[in-house]
Amino acid sequence: MSFVPKGVIPAVVTPMNNDESINESAFRKLLNYLIDNGVHGVFIIGSQGEFYALTKEEKIRLMEIAVEEVNGRVPVYAGTGGITTREVIELNDAAEKIGVDAVSIITPYYISPTQEELYEHYVKIAKATKLPVLLYNNPARTGGVKIDPKTVEKLAEIDNIVGIKDSSGDLTTTSDYIRRTKNKNFHVLAGRDTLILATLLYGGSGSIAATANVAPRLVASIYDYFVQGDLENAKRAQEELTPLRLAFELGTFPVVIKEALNMIGIEAGPARGPIKEMSEEKKAELRKVLQSMKLL
């Protein structure tokens, strides 16, 4: 398969109204803000997009809006992960009909499948769709479920499994994914925003980055400088980004990026309950981070 996942792809938040319904007009504006600031794709309905809090109908609606609004300017990636193989295949069918460019599938959560079960899960999913499939490794959000590098090496043999987003934050794991798949048409993307440049240096293809909602031009520049061979500026941009990623600790995931967007004048609204807004004290700390980055 010729599809190449690459560059900086924001893990787009799902803007909400105060009653926690989806704010469709704000979602459209956010997509345009990101594209206008040089990102290389958009990734909707991921962890940052609160996929776990959305109904199937809401996910389908978000895909429809994104495909319509983006209108081919950059690839649209959609998170279609679920606990069972069956529900993932159903959502992929919808994604394929709507016209998304690729799907990203987190490992099952709540249950703890073996590597053999994970392998079969992804093989069945890949065989049931024509879309490019990105694996998604995020053990911190899935009760420790991890895709072993040996399993990834086997899955990389499947034509439409084109890459993996690694949010483990473990550069050893990321580099092993890269090492084992470097001779295949397979691409490794950083899921930890502090490791974008490190992943690129190891041979990765880019990043799916939550911080790119708030600082799209800065995050995209890490990749752009890298491909131009300007490592000094790539390193500078990566360092500038670090305080924003570290600020995730100021609130319950995934509220911090929404609070930051609201602060810089981009409507994102609240996260869905039980996640609450940040305390005034924590908001003041976040505001200082944004001011130091010249985003406010």
Instruction: Give me the numbers of helices (H) and strands (E) for the chain, helices first please.
Output: 11, 8
| 165 part of the active site | yes
Catalytic residue among 77, 119, 122, 136: 136
CA distances from residue 233 to 57, 204, 212, 221, 230 in whole angstroms, order as listed: 43, 18, 17, 8, 6
Q: Give the residue numbers of the binding site for pyruvate.
A: 208
As a dihedral over the C-alpha atoms of residue 148, residue 131, residue 110, residue 195, rounded to 10 degrees, the angle is 50
| 184 part of the active site | no
**What does the chain come to in residues?**
296
Helices (H), the chain: 24-36, 56-70, 85-98, 115-127, 149-155, 171-181, 196-202, 216-228, 231-246, 255-263, 280-292
Q: Give the residue numbers of the binding site.
A: 208
How far apart, in whole angstroms, are the C-alpha atoms of residue 112 and residue 101? 29
Catalytic residue among 146, 165, 258, 283: 165
Residues tagged active-site: 136, 165
